[in-house]
Amino acid sequence: MTQHANGPFAVTMTPAGAPEHEGRTAFGRMQLDKQYAGDLVATGNGQMLTAVTDTQGSAAYVAIERISGTLKGRKGSFAIHHTGTMSGGTKQLTISVVTDSGTDELTGIAGTMALKIVEGEHSYEFDYTLPHGGPG
């Protein structure tokens, strides 16, 4: 049965070196540090790779993030992968749990996450399943 979690999060992105320019594209790498609140009380740490073109509104990124903490009372960790594109200002983002990455009480977790930014405030919507039900 699919469960739903949501809440705010804060993110800090730190460049891991200067961007490298090749042709019309700047390639960069960022360290991600997040603090999740709400239904997911956790920290997120990861790496992001970016490709930003000289055409405004055209870019892409991929990231891997490890989330450790408590999801609706269940302790553990899991990994998510991000794939984001922007074409002519139109954004598309997919964030999914890495299969078999869950630990402890989150073993077997699967799901997808959506991020929202409204007036500078970040929040997440997380639809997930766990094999043995439990609180949530």
Beta 74-87 vs 90-97: how paired, if at all? antiparallel
Average pLDDT over residues 110-117: 96
Average pLDDT over residues 79-96: 95
pTM over 0.85: yes
Beta 3-15 vs 121-129: how paired, if at all? antiparallel
Q: Determine the Cα–Cα distance for residues 49 and 85; give it in Å rounded to an integer.
A: 12
Burial call 104-126: b when 16+ CB within 10 Å, e when fewer: ebbeebbbebeeeeeeeeebbeb
Burial class (CB in 10 A: 0-12, 13-18, 19+), 132: exposed
Give 57-87 pLDDT, tens digit per residue. Answer: 999 999 999 999 999 999 999 999 999 999 9
Instruction: Examine the pLDDT at 135 and tell me if it is beyond 80.
Output: no
Instruction: Examine the pLDDT at 136 and tell me if it is beyond 50.
Output: no
Give 11-31 pLDDT, tens digit per residue. Answer: 999 999 999 999 999 999 999
Instruction: Look at the alpha carbons of 8, 14, 16, 19 in this order and tell me if their dihedral is positive or negative.
Output: positive
Q: For residue 118, what are its two tokens?
A: 């409204």
Average pLDDT over residues 4-8: 98
pLDDT in the model for residue 10: 97
Instruction: Examine the pLDDT at 94 and tell me if it is beyond 80.
Output: yes
Instruction: Examine the pLDDT at 125 and tell me if it is beyond 50.
Output: yes
β-sheet bridge partners, residue 3: 128
Q: Determine the Cα–Cα distance for residues 31 and 19; give it in Å rounded to an integer.
A: 13
pLDDT in the model for residue 132: 74
Are 5 and 129 a contacting pair, CB within 8 Å? no
pLDDT in the model for residue 133: 55
